[in-house]
Structure formats: C-alpha cells, structure tokens
Amino acid sequence: MTQPSVLVLIPAHNEEFRIGPTLRSYADYVRQHYPGKCRLVVVVNGCSDHTLEVVQKTAADYDFIGWQVIPDRVGKGGALIEGLRLATQSDLIGYVDADGATGPESFFSLVARAEGADCVVGSRRISGAVIHQLQPTHRQFASKVFHFIVQAFFQMDILDTQCGAKVLRQSAVLQIHDQLLIADMAFDVNLLYALKRAGCVIVEAPVDWTDKVGTKVTYLRTSLVMFLSVLRLRLFYTPIYPWLRPLRPLEGWIYKLLRNPPPRSSRAGKS
Ligand SMILES: Nc1nc2c(ncn2[C@@H]2O[C@H](COP(=O)(O)OP(=O)(O)O)[C@@H](O)[C@H]2O)c(=O)[nH]1
Ligand SMILES: [Mg+2]
C-alpha cells in the first residue's frame, strides 16, 4: 500500500534553542521510518533571534526540510494559517510545536490513524497517552479551566483540544481554511470547531508528551487572550456577530495591550 504524502508544519517564534533538536529528530525519523513522501516546513514568525539560521543549517542536511518566513509576530495560529496554504501539496497535513513535546514516533502514530478520519487530534487525556513530564501546576489549572470553557461554549466532547500535535486530511483543510481567524494559541479550537461544523470526522488518539522548558506562553496574558478568542469565536457563529462590529477598535486595542496578534478579519464575508 502506498503511504500518504505528509506535510509537517512547525510554527516557530524565537525558537533558536528548541527548533534544532526537534527538526533533526523529525528528519531522522522520516529518513529511517517513513516510506512515503514527507516535507517538514518551519513557519518562522516574528523572530528576533537565530531561529532561521538554525533551520537553514539543519535543512542543509535534509532536502525535505523547508521554511517560510513571516516577518511579523503573527502568533502560533497566524503562522499555521499561513502554513496551511501549502495543504494542496500533500495528502495529509500535520503540525507540531517547535519544542518537540511530542516526538516523531508519536506524531507518525497519528498519521497511521488517519485512515477514515479528516482530523486526528493528538491527545494527552485519553487512555494510552504517556506523559513523561507534566506541565507545572498553574499551567495544568489553566488548562482545566480552558477545557471547561471550550466544552461549555462548543460542546465538541474533545478531551484535549490544545495538544500541539494534529493531523488533517487535505480536503478538510481546504474546506475550512477561510474560517481560520484566531491567531493566538486558541487557534486549535477555531480549527476543530470549523471542522465539526463542516461535518468532518475528528478522532482523538493518544500521544507521548513531555513538557519542555522555554515555553513561549506568558501565563496570565496568554490565558486572557485565549479566553477572549474563544468568546469571540463563539459569538462569530451567532446572529448577533455583525452587530458587534463597532467593538472592533476596542478589540484591537485589547489584543495590542495584551501583546498578542488580533484575530484576522473574515474572508468569508462575515466580518
Ligand atoms: N506563544 C507564541 N508561540 C508561538 C508564536 N508563534 C509561533 N509559536 C509557536 O507555537 C508553539 C507553541 O508554543 P510552546 O512554547 O511550545 O507552548 P506550550 O507547549 O503550551 O508551552 C511553539 O512552536 C512556538 O514557537 C507566538 O507568536 N507566540
Ligand atoms: Mg509546546
């Protein structure tokens, strides 16, 4: 059986210390274990360090590593929205964090589960998941609160929306790409809810996961931004959304204050 072609996107913002080992471990794994076509693309965004040089140096050893450079700090979501424009090149499109929290073996176990699914969500919360290093207590707490809010708003019954490892079918990406607007870490909720609404099949599959030092998350600010973004997403899908348009400048001001990229305007004519 021919293996599907896979594109792995890695969003990276000031990741000069973490991206090298992650990229190399994925590239080595692909070379040794993945028989199909695979491309690794790092979406370098808003970097003021040597992330790009590290990626280029690593890419010199592997011809299937590429990169995109976005000069502005567009956020994890913003980086992935851009990266997902490459979806037409592969059967399956996945993404993982630059920190290597989910290793290549575990990521490719998601690829192996993609048969019959439109999206395979790497999950730390279902049976079979292995957590080598837990997040600090305050992050676990924020994560539980966020999960509670997401479930109350969207009733998706997905146990772990936030794990940074997911695999999508090309047709699913193309179907919902214009609904992807959230630029920050709540991007995953935007993605999953758009897929659900489109009737896509989403399955959760266990991953191996290790909390890594050097997180790009700033606890309070990120939590607040993620809350605002899921609230906005909830409102986006209600009839009152067009009436909230006059609040746009206020929204822009709040995201700026919280030093995070604001959600993009809709290209689907709903803004
Ligand atoms: N916080 C943040 N992360 C970004 C941004 N752009 C890309 N990322 C990437 O998003 C991924 C998740 O960040 P990470 O620090 O691993 O989050 P954590 O695992 O929740 O602690 C990493 O690959 C980051 O480099 C950005 O503007 N802000
Ligand atoms: Mg991470």
- The mean pLDDT of 110-118, rounded to a whole number, is 98
In the prediction, which pLDDT does 271 show? 37
Residues 49-68 have pLDDT tens digits of 999 999 999 999 999 999 99
Confirm whether 244 is domain-assigned.
Answer: yes
pLDDT tens digits, residue range 158-168? 999 999 999 99
For residue 6, how many C-alpha atoms fall within 13 Å in the half-sphere facing its CB? 27
Number of the ligand closest to the Cα of 77: 1
Instruction: Give me the CATH number covering residue 250.
Output: 3.90.550.10
DSSP string covering 176-239, please?
Answer: HGGG----STTHHHHHHHHHHHTT--EEEEE-EEE--SS----HHHHHHHHHHHHHHHHHHTST
Does the C-beta of 184 come closer than 6 Å to ligand 1? no
Whether the per-residue pLDDT at 269 is higher than 50: the answer is no
How far is CA 46 from each of CA 51, 96, 124, 194, 266, rounded to the nearest angstrom? 10, 18, 29, 27, 22
Per-residue pLDDT tens for 130-152?
A: 999 999 999 999 999 999 999 99
CB of 167 closer than 8 Å to CB of 119: yes
- Indicate whether 265 belongs to any domain: no
Q: How many angstroms separate the CA atoms of 41 and 61, rounded?
A: 14
* pLDDT value at residue 219: 87
Quick: pLDDT tens for 192-237. Answer: 999 999 999 999 999 999 999 999 889 899 999 999 999 999 999 9
Best residue among 10, 13, 26 to mutate for probing ligand 1's pocket (most ligand atoms within 8 Å of CB) is: 13
Decide if 68 is inside a domain.
Answer: yes
Domain count, the chain: 1
Going by pLDDT thresholds of 50, 70 and 90, the confidence category of residue 256 is: very high
Q: Is 216 near ligand 1, meaning CB less than 6 Å away?
A: yes
164 CB within 6 A, ligand 1: yes
Range of the domain at 157: 6-257
Instruction: Answer yes or no: is the C-beta of 83 below 6 A from any ligand 1 atom.
Output: no
Whether ligand 1 lies within 6 angstroms of the CB of 215 is answered as yes
Give the global pTM: 0.96
User: Is the residue at 263 inside a domain?
Assistant: no
User: Does any domain span residue 178?
Assistant: yes
Work out the mean pLDDT of the chain and round it to a whole number: 96
User: 1: pLDDT confidence band, cut at 50, 70 and 90?
Assistant: confident
Q: Is the CB of 76 under 6 A from ligand 1?
A: yes
Percent of all residues in the chain with a pLDDT value above 90, rounded to a whole number: 95
In a domain, 264, yes or no: no
pLDDT of residue 267: 54
pLDDT value at 102 more than 60: yes
Nearest ligand 1 atom to the CA of 10 is 23
Mean pLDDT, residues 171-175 taken together: 98
Mutate to test the pocket of ligand 1, among 8, 10, 76 (most ligand atoms within 8 A of CB): 76
**Ligand 1 within 6 A of CB of 80:** no
- Residue 21 lies inside a defined structural domain of this protein: yes
Indicate whether 268 pLDDT > 90: no
Residue 29 lies in a domain: yes
